[in-house]
Structures are given as C-alpha cells and as structure tokens.
Amino acid sequence: MTWQQRIDAALDARRAAEALRVRTPVENGAGRFLTCDQRRYSNFSSNDYLGLSQHPALIRAWQQGAEQYGVGSGGSGHVSGYTRAHQALEEQLADWLGYPRALLFISGFAANQALIAALTGKDDRIVADRLSHASLLEAASHSPAQLRRFAHNDAAQLASLLDKPCEGQQLVVTEGIFSMDGDSAPLVDIHAVARRQGSWLLVDDAHGIGVTGPEGRGSAAHLGVKPELLVVTFGKGVGISGAAVLCSDPVADYLLQFARHLIYSTSMPPAQAVALLAAFNLIRSDEGEARRQRLSALISQFRAGVSGLPLEITASQSAIQPLIVGENARALHLAQILREKGIWVTAIRPPTVPAGTARLRLTLTAAHEAADITALLEALHVASE
C-alpha cells in the first residue's frame, strides 16, 4: 500500500462511518452568539464557561501586555522566553491553588504529554480512568510504562489494579470534570485509594478551574483534595489559552530538566500571561462569583427542562450537558436541525467518544440568558419528535 493509498483508505473509512471531522470557519466562535456566513446562531458549543473571552478588562490587559512586551516571547523559557509576567502568573497560581510551584505550558495537551513522558519509566504503571482525555491516554500509551484503565469513576476497580505487583511507581490519572460526559470524578475516594498504595494522583481539571470550588479553584479544592499533580488549563473557564502544572518544588525542578514539551517549545506570549493574571483576578472577585452563580442557575434551568424530553442525559451538574444519541447519523441529523433553527451545537462522534455513544455536546456559559435556554429546549423538543 502506497502512502496515498493508506491516506485514502483511512479517509474513506471515516466517511463510511459518518465520522469524518471537518472545520467550519466562523466570524466569532466564543461568547453567547456565533456568526457564520453572515448568520447569527445561539452558541452552545463554546467552552468559554464564564464568558470571559470577550471581557473588556481581559482585552485591555492583553493590549497593555503587548505594548510592554510585544506580541511574542521570542523563545523557550529556558533561553529568553521567561519574563516577569510569566513569573508573576506562576507565583499567583501556586499561591492561589495551594502548591509550592506552578509551571506554565503552551497548552493542556502539552502539559499532560510532558508530565507523563518525563515522570514514567518502563517499570512503572499508569492506571487511568478509561474516559480520560486523549492527551492523557495517548501520553500513557506512548510511555514505556504499563497502562491499565479502570472503569469510569470506579474507585474499587482502581484499588484492585493498584494492588497488583509493580516493580516501579504507580501513577493514577483522571479528570476533575470529564470533557465529554460532564460528570465529576470521585476525587476523595480516588485519592484515598492512591495514597494507600503509595501512588501519586494526576488530576486534569481543565473543565473545573475557574468554574467550580471556592473562588473557582476547581474540582479538587471543591472536594478538599490535593493531588500530587494538578493540571489546570486556561482555554475553558478562564477564557484564554495555555495551561499550568501545579506541583512540589522538587517535581518542578525535575520538570524543568526533563519535560521536553517545556524545554523545546516557545513559551506563551508575555502579553497572554498579563491577560491571564487579569483573568484570575476577575475569577476570584465578586464578579467571578456572580458569573459562577449565574451559570449554575442556567444549568439548573436546562436540566429541569430537558428531563421531560425523549433524550438521554448524563449525571452532569457542570456546564457540559451532553445528550447521548447513539448513532453517528442521528447525531449529525439533530445537530443540523438545530442549526437550521439558529442554534449552533456540535455532534461528537467516535473515536472522540466510545462507539455507540455519539452525542450532542451542549455547553452552557454565563454569557447566556434564560431566554437562550428556553429557545434551546424548544428546539430540542421539535428536533427529537
């Protein structure tokens, strides 16, 4: 099989399964509304949970940062790309989240890949929730460590896997809030199991930071858990992009030596770090709390209204409210009906989610109004008939 034949066969298989991914250029993809081809849609596909991506204070902070530092960092943080803005953001994050150190990464995907690649060796074992994000599972499968997966949120099965003999160290991996199901990990139980076996816990809280817990400190803080490794990302509730790893001093020093994604990548623009500082100040403020309360009220409104429809929902209490459809074709059809009614919703299909669980991944944000939720529910009622 030639290169071209291999590529054509893979694409043909995706098309046959109605699982081919495509991109649609939009004028604005975050916020309450999305504009595409000069038509405005109610946007229920954005991860901008607190509606901060359009916030004037964050826009001004980025502009001021660009005026001071320029628009790029100029290199890796190990060379010349680590500025006072980066240092201030790391220090604020560490203090706020209760860890000795924070290290910035260009993305959550890079942070997860770097952590697992740098920490694990051939004698080690990674035990991951089977629904963990692709960045975690891919890194684990590519590492020399043994990978075992436990049933979703099943602390008892996790314990049985950790009980099996292991020559090296064991790393437990999970998310705080799961990106496709929207439900939360039982972090108290999972951390207790991990600690009994002397294992470390890595929690990716991409969808919890800024949105849940006291001051928006995330899922772990909400449950009073302090995992040994905490990954927070800035492209969801924080409204920007990038990520950080929260850890101990020795782990931070170790990652600075051995985390290749950190060492060999250009660091985020300093202006972005300035904007992120402004974002976290806002998240911790009274306005941030008001936005979280508003989001919570919208989630309650949606769940109360959707419960009467012939659609399968998950146990999610988060901003992620998936409707499980099953077949790829039906998910695509429902998404198209909703778009015809002016509502932008994305159909998520395998391999992003398990086979047979294609879904509409609805995301609510603090930028929405109660009337938007009512319109969404009315459209879902018509689409599901």
Distance, in Å, from the CA atom of 279 to the CA atom of 57, rounded to the nearest integer, reads 8
**Known catalytic membership, residue 385:** no
Distance between CA 302 and CA 279 in Å, rounded? 27
Residue whose tokens read 């990038």: 242
* Distance in Å from the first CA to the final CA of the chain: 46
**Cα-based distances in Å from 382 to 100, 341, 358:** 52, 10, 19
CB atoms within 10 A of CB 8: 12
Determine the length of the chain. Answer: 385
138 catalytic residue (yes or no): no
Q: Active site residue: 236, 265, 316, 318, which one?
A: 236
Phi and psi, residue 310, nearest 5°: -80, 55
Selected catalytic residue, list 86, 133, 191, 261: 133
Contacts of 253 (CB under 8 A, 6+ apart): none
204 is catalytic: yes
Task: At 370, list the tokens.
Answer: 């109660």
For residues 366 and 297, give the distance between their C-alpha atoms in angstroms, rounded to a whole number: 9
Point out the catalytic residue in the list 175, 181, 183, 205: 175
Vertex 308: Cα angle to 319 and 369 (nearest 5): 40
Pairing, β 229-233 against β 243-247: antiparallel
Task: Single out the catalytic residue among 55, 86, 191, 207.
Answer: 207
**90, 181, 204, 205: which is the annotated catalytic residue?**
204
The one catalytic residue among 132, 143, 179, 265? 179
- Is 86 catalytic? The answer is no
- Picking from 267, 328, 263, the residue whose alpha carbon sits closest to that of residue 70 is 267
How far is it, in rounded angstroms, from Cα 306 to Cα 320? 14
Residue 261 near residue 110, CB atoms below 8 Å? yes
Tokens of 317: 């209490």
- Told to judge if 47 belongs to the known catalytic residues of this protein, a careful annotator would answer yes
Task: Tell me whether residue 78 is one of the annotated catalytic residues.
Answer: no
Question: Any catalytic annotation for residue 381?
Answer: no
Active site residues: 47, 133, 175, 179, 204, 207, 236
